[in-house]
Amino acid sequence: MARAALLPVALLLCLALAGGANAAQKSTAGFYELKNKKGDFSIKVTNWGAALVSAIVPDGKGGPKGFGKVIWTVKEHVSHGDSPYITFYYHSLDGEQGFPGALDVYVKYQLSRPYDLSIRMNVTARNKATPVNLANHAYWNLAGHGSGDVLKHELQMFASHYTPVDAPMRPPARHGQQNAMRPVARVRDPKSGRAFELWANQPGVQFYTASWLINEKGKAGKVYGQYGALCLETQAYPDAVNHPNFPSSIVRPGQVYKHDMVFRFSYQATYDA
């Protein structure tokens, strides 16, 4: 019971992988987060006309149909004990969304003591090199369901660099660096005392304030409006295939893409003055 009380997710997290209305607002995104400059990329001598990825249209992430709008298979699950988990699997066909190569994609959600939620994404390229940059787009409101906006939440980002973007949401050339599992950000709601710290092994993170969230219906008739939640999306740098100095997002046959993140929740009692 205590663990559940510390996990006030604004929108459905795990089952969003199976699709549903406005799935891009609560899902694992498709092949490539944000946008490449020309909607294509080059690997050796092969140039593939991959679909443009839109950062403006919510459902456009990952191409015309991101991984949040496909049917995933439950490979295994444990619903009891100290570390319950569920693992989803999806096979992406060669040429899907205009990207080369077949992919085997696994996403595992697990709860562990004391109050941790871990998400692990593993992708294996079967036959061709292809860019892979998955991100989890869960919305968080630590004040609880139906509590209004998150404008009084406190956020600390553990970042040494940032990438400014142009009008189409693409970054100019900047240096980057690879990192192991490390603290990414900390979020706290002063009123409820709830907080979480995000750890991940990706070089970048995108912070989104739900500024485009308009009247999204939640459970019990509650409605989430602008700034009704926040997102912290760990990922590779957007447009990395066009910047040789960015950490590479290309996965070649036999290689495994590994994206791990852990949300470590905590609580500190608050008292009215």
Tokens of 270: 């608050």
Query: How far is CA 133 from its chain centroid?
Result: 9
Among residues of the chain, what percentage have pLDDT more than 70? 68
Residues with catalytic function: 137, 233
Is-contact 183 109, C-beta < 8 A? no
pLDDT of 120 higher than 90? yes
Tens digit of each residue's pLDDT (9 = 90 or more) over 140-160: 999 998 889 999 999 999 887
Across the range 237-258, mean pLDDT stands at: 84
What is the pLDDT averaged over residues 191-202? 94
Q: What is the pLDDT of residue 97?
A: 81
Q: Is 18 helix (H, G, I), strand (E, B) or coil?
A: helix
pLDDT for residue 215 is more than 50: yes
How far is the C-alpha of 130 from the C-alpha of 50, rounded, in Å?
11
Count the alpha carbons within 13 Å of 240 in the hemisphere toward its beta carbon.
Answer: 25
Query: Pairing mode, if any, of strands 256-267 and 194-200?
Result: antiparallel
Radius of gyration of the chain (CA): 18
Higher-confidence position of 110 and 19 = 110
The 10s digit of each residue's pLDDT in 42-80 is: 443 233 344 333 222 233 334 456 787 888 999 999 988
The continuous run of DSSP H or E covering 121 comes out as strand 116-125
Question: Count of residues for the chain?
Answer: 273
- The whole-angstrom separation of Cα 164 and Cα 174 is 9
Exposure string (b/e) for 150-168, b if CB count within 10 Å is 16 or more?
A: beebeeeeeeeeebebeee
CATH number of the 2-267 domain: 2.70.98.10
Q: Parallel, antiparallel, or unpaired: how do β-strands 130-131 and 250-251 relate?
A: antiparallel
Looking at every residue in the chain, the average pLDDT score rounds to 74
The domain limits of the chain are 2-267
CA–CA distance, 260 with 246 (Å, rounded to integer): 19
Instruction: Kindly indicate the confidence band of residue 171, based on its pLDDT and cuts at 50, 70 and 90.
Output: low
Structure confidence at residue 48 (pLDDT):
38
- Could you say which DSSP state residue 71 is in? P
* Residue 221 reports pLDDT greater than 90: no
